[in-house]
Amino acid sequence: MNNFSQSSVRTYDMAMREYLLFVFKQMFVALLITGFAALFVASSHGLQMAIFGSPLRYVVIFAPIGIAVYMQVRLYKISPSTATILLYSFAALMGMSMASLLIMYTGESVCSAFFIAASVFGAAVIYGNATKKDLSGMGSIMIMMIIGLFIASLVNMFMNSTGLQYAISCISVVVFTCLTAYDMQKMKDLYNTMNSSGDFDSKMQHKIAIYGALTLYLDFINIFISLVNIMGNRRD
């Protein structure tokens, strides 16, 4: 390999590394926002009543879904700053909703679930980044399983079965761990595709990275919530 080729490889590797670092930086900021929002709501009885004791709870529950869909549909149209604001707004709303976990379970069990989720998520990210195996087939299967888990969760809203909820949570940990590896690989593949097309300017790279941060954020949150449901100790 000549010096020019070696230089090109180094330049590409540095650009990929910067792109991925930006993705995880944005995901980390979003998690911080979620954590602070959850703590803020959980520490205020007035906010708890305002959110969970009124129709506002439906806004907190369903608004993040609307934001995620809007980002996916309008990603190529919106500005980078708008994409960032949407990510942070999504994280804040999720934090308000997740305050219920801090109210329902002890702080120690929530912290334990968080660190285990971080370890599982980190291992999946490393695998998705390092593996040469095509994970697209696994991703399709995991998405189908998510649909099945969603249907099972709806059914359990009426059955209120503790056993079924436990099974759903256990399966969810596995599904979203696998999905994390798939999403990590998908982000790299998308970067390569966009970069090779010649249309990957700094604004588009920013927006794609923000959407990647949202995707990985959702994977982590789902692993975390599932682990809290499995190992969380309820308050007296």
Residue 184 belongs to some domain of the structure: yes
Q: Which amino acid is at 127?
A: Y
Q: For residue range 76-133, list pLDDT tens digits in order.
A: 899 999 999 999 999 999 999 999 999 999 989 999 999 999 999 999 999 999 998 9
- Report for 97-101, 187-191, 213-217: range of highest mean pLDDT: 213-217
Higher-pLDDT residue of 15 and 154 is 154
CA neighbor of 188 nearest in space, from 19, 9, 2:
19
Check residue 160 and give left, alpha or beta (phi > 0: left; psi -120 to 50: alpha): left
Who's near 56: CB < 8 A, 6+ residues apart?
Answer: 50
Task: Using pLDDT thresholds of 50, 70 and 90, give the confidence band for residue 198.
Answer: low
Structural domain tally of the chain?
1
Structural domain for 126, as ranges:
3-231
Residue 141 belongs to some domain of the structure: yes
**Torsions phi, psi of 234, nearest 5?**
-70, 145
CA distances in angstroms from 187 to 49, 93, 125, 194, listed in the order given: 40, 25, 11, 11
Query: What pLDDT score was predicted for residue 1?
Result: 46
Residue 236 belongs to some domain of the structure: no
pTM: 0.90
Residue 193 belongs to some domain of the structure: yes
